[in-house]
Chains A and B, each alone.
Chain A
Amino acid sequence: MAFTNSLELLSFHWVAYTIYSAMILSVIAWFGYNLTREDRKSVFRIPFYWYMAFLVAGGVGHHIFTYNTIPWVSQDIDRHNITPDAKYEFKIKDHKWIGLPKQVVIQCEQTVEFDVHSEDLVYGFGLFRQDGSLVTQMQVNPGTDVNGILDSNDILWTFNHNGVFDLTSTEYSGPAQYSEDGKKDLMLVKNFVKVVGCKDNGGKQ
């Protein structure tokens, strides 16, 4: 099992957590009901070591599971040794994107690097589908190295599904990001990324 894009992961996560929530609430409700019952005979032996093993397996296993099923984890850790198919570098200053291409067209399964620099505040870089769901994101921190060169905030991403994605800042950087009446996000760039050449269910045609 591997997730080819973040939408699949989010759907899986929704189902898994909903089942867990229903389970934990039912267990506590059942427990509360039985606390008041006269019957002193225990329904089951509470297996302490199994419970602790379950927690350890849950905590550690979760990361092992995601490492092996979410492709961008290993890619992110090893990104400085991966040569991207394309690289886009731009800046942010005064809540404005500087040097941003009008639209980035990406071929299916291409791995793209976005390197964003901030000249003043902490911003975010986030790509969103047309339904509002998140494709990916990172924080964009300001700062320079000893030579005065702006710090990199780089993310590597492989696109496996066709789509048109909007860009906006995912980190709050003050009210100046919005129009005075709040109706407009001034950092929103509609249709910034376009992915083409994939089959309907993902993957190269």
Chain B
Amino acid sequence: MSFTKNLIDGTNFDHTSLNALQKVTLRAVVMAFLFYGLVAIEGMIMRMVEVGHSPLNPIPDQFFHPEHFFSIMTVHPIVGIFGSTYQLVFGAFTFLVPFLTKKPLFSVKVANASWLFITIGTALAWIAAFVWNYAPLYTLYWPLPADTHQFHVLGGIVFIVGVALIMVGTLLFIYNIYATIFARVGVHKNKTTKELLISGFGIDGFLNLINKLRGKEPYSKEPALALPVVAIFRGTVDTFLDALVILSAGVLILVYLIFDASGYALDVTAIDALLYKNYFWWGLDLVADGLVLIYVAGSWYLLATLITGQKLFMENVARAALMLELLVSWMVWSHHLLGDQGQPEMMKLISGEMVTAFELLTQGLALFITLVTLWKARPLKMSMELKYLLGGLSGFGLAVPAAIIQADMGMNRVLHNTQWIIGAHVHIALIVGLYMTLYSAVYVLWPLITNGTKLYSSKLSNIHFWLHLIGGIGMGAFMGMAGLNGMLRRHLYVGGEFNPEMIFAAIFGSMLLLAWAIFLYNIVMSVGIKGVVGIFLPSKDKSASYKLEEE
């Protein structure tokens, strides 16, 4: 097949054969990967600024200006976390919940509204930073987002409206997922809401463990919900709470900005900065230490069982551990406030150190269960999905201890707000841990969502894998080293103060960017430009389930 024909028509992809569920899933996935590219470019721009002025540096002078630099830094996590990661995860779960529960999705319209709201919201937040240089960073530390001496009020309003739309899209996703799980149709026709709730929270797994210890029959031999659905159920509780916190913080900022614009500025000191920090971090941390870890654990379990075709090792323990993870995620936010001297010491010790250390246990357990499930099924073929899953496990194996090390009152004095936390922890957790897990899911779900479309090139998939893995670990490692040498994460360095670490981070970062371009090329050549456009056209088959009719 010629290059042009592949580019236009793909391999054997036929978008008209896709049903409504498959198309809405793919729409979110396409937007997620486009936003990922934007984030990778933003990251490289910031990295090149930090490499400093030099004749070899192609970055135009305007990017070195603080307004410009920090507006990129503000939208970088918004686009990365919400525009890309949320959309990819939501898209996958929108398909997986009906697939695993063998029920139709509650509403395809709601799913469409969800990805549209998140896409438009992300675009608005980006526009606010691009046009008005609105740059309070994602932390939104009070009263910076309402500081109209530094930022244009209109930029602030557009940004907050954008973030609010993202949260509305998130709430729509949550509604759709729970409405699907609780729908008493198909296999759940005779289940009560109580049974589904008990299973959703993993209480059945916990009771099974207790009964086993007491030598009794299991509480439930066939839990109402499959384990990955339990993880989605549980993680979505945190997604909901997080959306409420971010929405309410957004409303607060919006009220101040609107009053300011109308000439009646409100007193910003009416809001206590430290109390606000506690509230905001409690919510924001439900993303990092809540839904991400729970969703990831669930994804590992699903991938391990799909790859091996066997039951999960220690399933009851895994169910109970997910419940523990949820409780832990509500109590760890103080590790972000170890450098705040007004924060009570007991909260630093208990929430910031001790409960946070529990994440080593819960995530370590998930890692163990996944590895043993794979091990028991050996020999396995080193497929793309298995490779990516191992990559994802390595990412969290590196990133979680990096965070636990910093969540310590002694270490925090020298590591807080440095590149250590954003490099060795956040970027490795997201790029290597989370994204490689998601890529594994993409390869597992690809034949199901695209009706068996042949991938254009497995060689390109392999190149993508190695570039992404090496690029991700390398970039995070050199950022981490710069952090150990004192480089701050929310600071502007234009003199190359932290070279050569930043030069190496830039080299590894460009591998990530190249990896994304190769992946995108491979996908476009598989589905064709016609196929990409076709994904966004209405589907003829309106069914919201996957192959239920045949069953």
- Chain B residues with CB under 8 A of A128: 486
> Known contacts A13-B405, A35-B379, A72-B410: does B341 contact A138 (CB below 8 Å)?
yes
CA distance A72 to B380 in the complex (A): 51
> Known contacts A36-B380, A183-B495: does B390 contact A172 (CB below 8 Å)?
no
B308: min CB distance to chain A, Å? 10
B 139-155 binary contact with A (CB < 8 Å = 1; else 0): 10111100101110000
- Chain A residues with CB under 8 A of B349: 77
Q: In the complex, which residues 25-50 of chain B have their Cβ closer than 8 Å to any Cβ of chain A?
A: 49
Of the stretches A84-92, A103-111, A174-182, A190-198, the one at the interface is A174-182
> Known contacts A28-B390, A37-B379, A51-B368: does B410 contact A9 (CB below 8 Å)?
yes
Task: Judge whether A175 and B484 touch: CB under 8 Å.
Answer: no
- Chain A residues with CB under 8 A of B137: 172
Instruction: With CB as the reference atom, state the residue of chain A lying closest to B356.
Output: A59
> Known contacts A153-B341, A173-B144: does B408 contact A62 (CB below 8 Å)?
yes
- Chain A residues with CB under 8 A of B378: 34-37, 40
B 364-386 binary contact with A (CB < 8 Å = 1; else 0): 11001001101100111110001
- Chain A residues with CB under 8 A of B473: 25
B440: min CB distance to chain A, Å? 13
Of the stretches B13-21, B61-69, B179-187, B206-214, the one at the interface is B61-69
Task: Judge whether A122 and B142 touch: CB under 8 Å.
Answer: yes
Task: Judge whether B484 and A13 touch: CB under 8 Å.
Answer: yes
Which among A59, A132, A137, A182 is the interface contact of B404 at CB below 8 angstroms? A59
Q: Most A CB atoms within 10 A — which of B277, B345, B374, B417?
A: B417
Q: In the complex, which residues 121-161 of chain A have their Cβ closer than 8 Å to any Cβ of chain B?
A: 121-122, 124, 126, 128-129, 131-139, 141-144, 151-155
- B342, CB-defined interface residue at 8 Å: yes
- Chain B residues with CB under 8 A of A176: 66, 149-150
> Known contacts A38-B379, A59-B357: does B364 contact A73 (CB below 8 Å)?
no
Which among B139, B381, B398 is the interface contact of A21 at CB below 8 angstroms? B398
Which among B150, B354, B365, B379 is the interface contact of A40 at CB below 8 angstroms? B379
CA distance A67 to B349 in the complex (A): 11
Instruction: With CB as the reference atom, state the residue of chain A lying closest to B348.
Output: A77
Task: Judge whether A181 and B65 touch: CB under 8 Å.
Answer: yes
- Chain A residues with CB under 8 A of B397: 24-25, 28
Task: Judge whether A58 and B135 touch: CB under 8 Å.
Answer: no
> Known contacts A38-B379, A143-B273: does B409 contact A182 (CB below 8 Å)?
no
- B257, CB-defined interface residue at 8 Å: no
CA distance A120 to B64 in the complex (A): 26
> Known contacts A9-B411, A62-B405, A132-B486: does B65 contact A180 (CB below 8 Å)?
yes
Q: In the complex, which residues 519-551 of chain B have their Cβ closer than 8 Å to any Cβ of chain A?
A: none
Instruction: With CB as the reference atom, state the residue of chain B lying closest to A153.
Output: B341
> Known contacts A62-B405, A72-B410, A175-B66: does B361 contact A52 (CB below 8 Å)?
yes
Task: Judge whether B364 and A55 touch: CB under 8 Å.
Answer: yes
Task: Judge whether A182 and B401 touch: CB under 8 Å.
Answer: no
> Known contacts A139-B339, A143-B272: does B416 contact A172 (CB below 8 Å)?
no
- B413, CB-defined interface residue at 8 Å: yes
- A56, CB-defined interface residue at 8 Å: yes
Task: Judge whether B341 and A152 touch: CB under 8 Å.
Answer: yes
CA distance A37 to B149 in the complex (A): 65
Task: Judge whether B269 and A132 touch: CB under 8 Å.
Answer: no
A39: min CB distance to chain B, Å? 8
Task: Judge whether A31 and B136 touch: CB under 8 Å.
Answer: no
> Known contacts A13-B411, A35-B378, A141-B340: does B345 contact A77 (CB below 8 Å)?
yes
- B347, CB-defined interface residue at 8 Å: no
CA distance A144 to B64 in the complex (A): 36
- Chain B residues with CB under 8 A of A38: 379
- A167, CB-defined interface residue at 8 Å: no
A96: min CB distance to chain B, Å? 14
Task: Judge whether B341 and A28 touch: CB under 8 Å.
Answer: no
CA distance A86 to B376 in the complex (A): 63
A152: min CB distance to chain B, Å? 7
B102: min CB distance to chain A, Å? 30
CA distance A62 to B412 in the complex (A): 13
B 489-512 binary contact with A (CB < 8 Å = 1; else 0): 011101101100000000000000
Task: Judge whether A141 and B342 touch: CB under 8 Å.
Answer: yes
Besides A28-B394, A120-B147, A138-B341, 4 more A-B contacts (Cβ < 8 Å) are A13-B484, A66-B411, A70-B411, A141-B277
Could you tell me which A residues sit within 8 Å of B by CB distance? 6, 9-10, 13-14, 17, 20-21, 24-25, 28, 31-32, 34-38, 40, 42, 46, 48, 51-52, 55-56, 58-60, 62-63, 66-67, 69-70, 72-73, 76-77, 120-122, 124, 126, 128-129, 131-139, 141-144, 151-155, 170-183, 185
8 tightest Cβ-Cβ pairs between the two chains A and B: A59-B357, A70-B410, A175-B66, A172-B490, A66-B410, A133-B486, A178-B66, A174-B150
